[in-house]
Amino acid sequence: MLDWEAIYATRAKRMGASEIRELLKLLDQPDIISFAGGIPDPALFPAAAFQKAYSDILGSSEAGQALQYSVSEGYGRLREWIVQRMNARGIDADIGNIFITSGSQQALDYLGKLLLSPGDTALVQWPTYLGALQAFNAYEPRYDRLDLSRNAAPQDYATAAKDAGSRVKFAYLSADFSNPTGECLTPMEREKLLDMADALDIAVIEDAAYRALRYEGERQQTLLAIDCARSGGIEKTRTLYCGSFSKTLSPGLRVGWVCAATPVIRRLVLAKQAADLHSPTINQMAIARVAEAGFDAQAEKITAVYRERRDAMLNALSAHMPQGVSWTKPEGGMFVWLTLPEHIDSAALLKESLKEAKVAFVPGNAFYADGSGKNHLRLSFSCSTPGAIEEGMRRLGALIGSELAAAA
Ligand SMILES: Cc1ncc(COP(=O)(O)O)c(C=O)c1O
């Protein structure tokens, strides 16, 4: 038998199994209340609108185009719709600044491919989106901790990289409702991040996957919009904005986009030509129609439901978590991030929880580039009713309470 391990490329060794993807399988077990998967509620998908869109497309003279190969940049009408949305947010993009991807996950992979040579440094938050780490890992980077609340000077990052024989290439982050914490960058942190990127002369990857899911508070400017205003237009920006229709319309159709300066868009197009030629034509056409017909109404509908679930989770946490446990109070997104006393390992807690409480969550260390963060856990409220959330938090609170009592 071939010794596969002996012939894998070095990059393959960095492709570890994802704890979270394994956990998604638990969603299928009916006796578990799962807060593990960070996925949209399928009951909220605009299925009728998609049924009409696909039927209209396939029943019209556009059927041939819909089933044909298409250009790597993406479907023009969809790119035009995105241009309008970006323009309305103070970004002077035109169609040449928009590139359609198969979900924003593909954008992260292509950007890793484009920007990272082995050993290059990527600045990421501690914790950060696990899927971004998976995407970047294949390009064998070194990670450093991006912490905007700390007083690290840009030079500190540059020096640390240099000492490791590396160079900083980009900062990756979600400015709005991060996965896993649900938190946003303040306006000051946004400026500070761009100041730092200017000083280091690096790119900024802005992951906007959850941006449309705001339940309260004022909408902040995107990093790309601030960058446009500071630098005098999109062609002079360093920010690569990764958008997605997954959390609003449908993740199954796999449609996302990058908005950025044209030179980097041209390179992304070449990456896509080599990888998959283009994202599925008919899906892009259907997304364009459904977005044109009612994106805002859909966003309003789902935010009302998710707001109620977020409120239910925050109320249930207050009611049931013992002293010593704290959590974030997100204004949007799908997640609440719990911090347990230092000595509690959330991976061990998960095992207990699945057995005793029949409650699933994601242990925190999955989201740390260095595997730390063991006393944190991520809860997603997107797919549970307020009743299930109350019951789940009651059981989890009781379990954590008994762990704390046992350790006291
Ligand atoms: C922060 C973040 N970015 C990107 C993605 C990828 O989403 P998609 O590829 O469906 O657009 C996800 C998915 O959960 C996410 O949580």
pLDDT-based confidence at residue 315 (cuts at 50, 70, 90): very high
Q: What is the mean pLDDT of residues 108-131?
A: 97
pLDDT value of residue 151:
74
- Strand pairing class (335-339; 142-145): unpaired
- Asked if residue 176 lies in contact with residue 220, where contact means CB atoms within 8 angstroms, the answer is yes
Q: Is residue 16 scored above 90 in pLDDT?
A: no
Determine the straight-line distance between the first and last CA of the chain, rounded to whole angstroms. 53
pLDDT value of residue 121:
98
CA distance 324 to 269: 50
CA distance 287 to 77: 10
| Pocket perturbation via mutation, ligand 1, pick of 109, 124, 129, 287 by most ligand atoms within 8 A of CB | 129
pLDDT-based confidence at residue 30 (cuts at 50, 70, 90): confident
pLDDT-based confidence at residue 305 (cuts at 50, 70, 90): very high
pLDDT value of residue 24:
59
**181-230 pLDDT, tens digit each:** 999 999 999 999 999 999 999 999 999 999 999 999 999 999 999 999 99
Q: Is residue 63 scored above 60 in pLDDT?
A: yes
Residue that wins the pLDDT comparison between 142 and 14: 142
pLDDT value of residue 68:
98
CA distance 243 to 257: 5
| Pocket perturbation via mutation, ligand 1, pick of 100, 105, 109 by most ligand atoms within 8 A of CB | 105
Give the CA angle between residues 98, 104, 109 to the nearest 5°.
Answer: 100
Lookup: tokens for 239: 């920010």
Is 131 close to ligand 1, i.e. is its CB under 6 Å away? yes
Q: Which of 177-191, 222-236, 344-358 has the lowest mean pLDDT?
A: 344-358
Residue of 131, 255, 273, 151 whose CA lies nearest to 205: 131
- Asked if residue 260 lies in contact with residue 269, where contact means CB atoms within 8 angstroms, the answer is no
pLDDT value of residue 407:
79
pLDDT-based confidence at residue 284 (cuts at 50, 70, 90): very high
Residues sharing a CB contact under 8 Å with residue 67, sequence separation 6 or more, in sequence order = 281, 282
pLDDT value of residue 217:
96
Q: Is residue 31 scored above 90 in pLDDT?
A: no
Alpha helices in 118-250 (DSSP H): 130-137, 154-163, 187-200, 223-231
- Strand pairing class (362-363; 376-380): antiparallel
Q: What percent of the chain has pLDDT over 90?
A: 89
Is 380 close to ligand 1, i.e. is its CB under 6 Å away? no
- Strand pairing class (376-380; 335-339): antiparallel
CA distance 249 to 253: 9
pLDDT value of residue 26:
61
pLDDT-based confidence at residue 90 (cuts at 50, 70, 90): very high
Question: CA Rg, the chain, in Å?
Answer: 22
Residue of 327, 329, 325 whose CA lies nearest to 337: 327
Q: For ligand 1, atom 2, which residue shows the shortest CA distance?
A: 209
DSSP SS3 for 180: coil
Q: Which of 9-23, 236-250, 363-377 has the lowest mean pLDDT?
A: 9-23
Read off φ and ψ for residue 69, nearest 5 degrees: -55, 155
The DSSP symbol for 322 reads P
Is 37 close to ligand 1, i.e. is its CB under 6 Å away? no
Read off φ and ψ for residue 2, nearest 5 degrees: -65, 135
Cα 111 to averaged position of ligand 1 atoms, centre (Å): 14
CA distance 290 to 32: 34
Q: Is residue 172 scored above 70 in pLDDT?
A: yes
Lookup: tokens for 40: 């949209």
Q: Is residue 27 scored above 60 in pLDDT?
A: no
Torsion of CA 90, 91, 95, 99, to 10 degrees: -130
| Pocket perturbation via mutation, ligand 1, pick of 179, 184, 254 by most ligand atoms within 8 A of CB | 179
Read off φ and ψ for residue 159, nearest 5 degrees: -65, -45
Q: What is the mean pLDDT of residues 101-129?
A: 97
**Average model confidence (pLDDT) across the chain:** 95
DSSP SS3 for 91: coil
Give the H or E element holding residue 171. Answer: strand 168-173
- Asked if residue 172 lies in contact with residue 206, where contact means CB atoms within 8 angstroms, the answer is no
CA distance 232 to 243: 22
Q: Whose structure tokens read 């790597």?
A: 72
DSSP SS3 for 34: strand
Read off φ and ψ for residue 207, nearest 5 degrees: -90, 110
**377-395 pLDDT, tens digit each:** 999 999 999 999 999 999 9
Q: What is the mean pLDDT of residues 33-41?
A: 93
CA atoms within 13 A on the CB side of 101: 25
pLDDT-based confidence at residue 21 (cuts at 50, 70, 90): low
Lookup: tokens for 21: 């993807």
Is 179 close to ligand 1, i.e. is its CB under 6 Å away? yes
pLDDT-based confidence at residue 17 (cuts at 50, 70, 90): low
pLDDT value of residue 73:
98
- Asked if residue 121 lies in contact with residue 161, where contact means CB atoms within 8 angstroms, the answer is yes
